[in-house]
Amino acid sequence: MSKTKKTSQEIVQYTEAEQAYLDSLKSEESSTSEYSGPPRLTINTKGKDDEGNKIPIGGWHIQGTDIYFDGPVYFRPVRKYNKLIRYSVDNGKYSVAGQSIYYPFPTPVKSILDSLGGYALGRTFSKNLSKEQIKAEQELAQCYLDIFGFARFDGEEEGHPVIYRVRGKKIMFMDEAFRAIPRGKNFSEFEYKIVTDQADTGYWTIEVTPEVSTPLPLTPILEYDKVVQDFVAEENRKVVAAFKQANDALVDDAFIDANSTTIAVEDDDDDLPF
């Protein structure tokens, strides 16, 4: 049985599978599930690839592939989650020193377990903090928005399954685009044209424009949505296991030392907290 929903301009019929997907998004408010795995969609900050070939700085790169594109990307989101990450640096190499579960926004801090045995890596997200206090908290952990979806470039009909990680003002730009979609629709029913731009400071920013003329069918994204949910659940499971291990270790100082090693996960410049 399909479910019919009437909007101001059209009548949309959802299959049972499509409606189940939309319902699951609504219930995400109270969920702390997570995902990771697909290649990252990043802004390319290098002039040459590993083979020495010239590649477009400021264009797009799908990490782990030879796909580079100098121009806009058309991005269709499937799911989005917040994640807190604390980085450490050693000999110029950045690695993840601690991370939280994937969580929807807003979520109570006590629900945001982290791999160091605490909550939200020390962040409180209070609206009453001074600028100095906010800066100090950001040094404890940076907030990222991981958006799982499909990246399509000019000339392509089908998109590449990716994860697009943003921070700082990029989060604000993406949120503003999501809020600009027609009332009664979901952010995953549209593509978003994203163009890169570099300010005088050298920081790469983005301009996001939702393509809202015609809602896209949900069926083509359902298979990838299942992959995303499984990935997020597994990533959260690992963080929760580390949380429990760290709390057991607090009973004995020897265990504290044994479990304080840095998680060796290196990221490209576009994913680093600066």
**Chain-centre distance for alpha carbon 129:** 25
pLDDT attached to residue 270: 52
pLDDT attached to residue 225: 96
Q: Is the pTM of this model over 0.85?
A: no
- pLDDT bin (cut points 50, 70, 90) of residue 248 is confident
- pLDDT bin (cut points 50, 70, 90) of residue 200 is low
- CA distance to 54, 207, 224, 268, per residue, from 46 (Å): 9, 21, 30, 10
At 148-157, the pLDDT tens digits run: 999 999 999 9
The sign one gets for the Cα dihedral 22, 25, 30, 36 is positive
Beta bridge partners of 161: 150
Q: Where are the alpha helices (DSSP H) in the chain?
A: 16-26, 131-140, 169-179, 219-249, 253-258
Find the mean pLDDT for residues 89-98: 85
Is a pLDDT exceeding 60 seen at residue 169?
A: yes
Strand-strand pairing, 93-99 and 73-90: antiparallel
Under DSSP, is residue 227 helix (H, G, I), strand (E, B) or coil? helix
d(C-alpha 14, C-alpha 2), whole Å: 5
248 Cβ partners below 8 Å, 6+ apart?
Answer: 255
- pLDDT bin (cut points 50, 70, 90) of residue 4 is very low
Percent of the chain with pLDDT over 70: 80
Q: Where are the alpha helices (DSSP H) in 116-191?
A: 131-140, 169-179
Percent of the chain with pLDDT over 90: 53
The sign one gets for the Cα dihedral 185, 191, 197, 203 is positive
The sign one gets for the Cα dihedral 95, 98, 101, 106 is negative
d(C-alpha 172, C-alpha 117), whole Å: 29
